[in-house]
Structure 1
């Protein structure tokens, strides 16, 4: 089982590395509460198509070590960059979902583009969702505090109650099975309470509009019209406007969990985006975990 150590404090972090070693590289950073498993509908088909797919479990998530500290955005971004250094990856398409988009952005603005060629922001909370002087239409801090109280009182009930909105299941075409919903809730509960609440604090304080404006590389923004966790107008549309070289792809009736409900479309869009930056054509190859 592959692990590496955080360059910040030595925390042992788990990752997967699937597909051929010579394939174009796509690195995935997951949402809060979950690990690399959330990307199965992207990593498996892309690896089978000849891509090298790498995904990590954030500290306190999945199979990575449970630690008390290191949940500030700089450290989380340094953990991501540590994986890129550990595997000596180059020409990377770096993909983040939800709060993972903030880690992706901070990784690039903090460590540069020597390894990363392009960035994909999927259902991101970036550049921020909380009300500030320059985002008066953002979510009120009082509403966030009330939501935090519910979360701390009963995480299992919180995840279960919000599942329908997460996947936008009010639309029949966004079908996911009750078994899959239970699986995702279980994944969320596998994150340590400390890790879960600390990552939520990152979202509550997030305001990285200036960093988006400084991303000097191609950026793909994928977002759903019915994302209840990260409203399109506050996040995806703003992000696409702020980056110098960005493309916004809006999925009608998609929610925050579009990685599952719109899996095939997202995988195709990520493949097209990654191939555009590849130095050579992708050759079909037999995937295998190293």
Structure 2
């Protein structure tokens, strides 16, 4: 079932709801520059185990409205708060992939974990996405210059940018048809939202946010991730007290495709 939720004046966020209404809720936040449909193969399976899966299109992506402003992590986290409160959700497992993981972490800090039961971080673009001086886990993250190139390509040849981004996403081989479907997800976004969230990815940091997380946290990360290297997962585990790191030995950034069966099993086991 699809519907819209108003998160601020003239800004409506698109939601898809899968599974039993009284099921334990899992709220999925997609990564850059995709939409809620990227979790299709979780929506197909997890409701069979009784979970209610709620997919959100972030503002500017998928079927949501495309305002000119509002692409900071703070504003995106506030949108998630509006979704949770409007739907009157309780005991939520907040699940974020890539940039969605960063937004989930900001939500936990900014809104004191409001209504969150557990936190699942999937190949999260956190605690930082781009290289910084003093980063203790090695300079394996993407440079700011590389993100600037993505922003420039977004404004000049977005389809080619998405094509090249897709090449880095998967470690396992995928079909040409699947590549076309995946690129189509990115093309539904507005160019403005794609560029402005890339600025947030480039500039924002989440070091202080991690210390404010006080719910069970699962960190799911592909060992061969070229977009958010595995060292980021190690930094998250070090920074989030009591967190559990689950490595995916045969996956890149798209671990929920590369090792789909294992991912669904591990996520369900983590939620319990």
Length-normalised TM-score, structure 2: 0.94
Q: Which is bigger in relative contact order (C-alpha 8 A, separation at least 6)?
A: 1
RMSD: 1.5
Structure 1 counterpart of 2:179: 181
> Does the CA contact (< 8 Å) of 1:101 and 1:121 recur in 2?
yes
With 122-131 and 158-167 compared, the bigger mean Cα shift is at: 158-167
2:52 match: 52
Question: Is the contact made by 1:126 and 1:206 (CA closer than 8 Å) also made in structure 2?
Answer: no
In structure 2, the partner of 1:103 is 103
Equivalenced residues, count: 268
SS in 2 for 1:2: strand
Say whether the 8 Å CA contact 1:259–1:266 is kept in structure 2. Answer: yes
Structure 1 residue 258: Cα displacement = 1.4
Match of 1:158 in 2: 161
User: Residue 65 of structure 2 corresponds to which residue in structure 1?
Assistant: 65
Q: Deviations over 1:151-201 (max 9, x none)?
A: 433111122123232102xxxxx2321101101101101100001001111
Q: Deviations over 1:196-248 (max 9, x none)?
A: 00111110012101111221111100111111111111x11111111002000
Match of 2:15 in 1: 15
Cα distance in 1 for partners of 2:239, 2:145 equals 27
Gaps of 5+ in 2: none
Seen in structure 2, the aligned counterparts of structure 1 residues 210 and 134 have a Cα distance that, compared at 3 Å, is farther
Q: Which residue of 2 aligns with 1:149?
A: 152
Q: CA deviation at 1:65?
A: 0.9
State the match for 2:91 in structure 1: 91
1:5-44 to structure 2, matched below 5 A, reads: 5-6=6-7, 8-44=8-44
Residues 223-277 of structure 1: per-residue CA shift (max 9 Å, x gap): 11111111111x11111111002000111131111121211111111111111xx
**1:191 corresponds to:** 189
8 Å CA contact 2:150, 2:161 repeated in 1: no
The answer to whether structure 1 residue 230 and structure 2 residue 233 are counterparts is: no
User: Partners in 2 of 1:41 and 1:140 — Cα distance?
Assistant: 32
CA distance in 1, matches of 2:67, 2:100: 19
Name stretches of at least 5 consecutive residues in structure 1 with no aligned partner: 169-173, 276-290
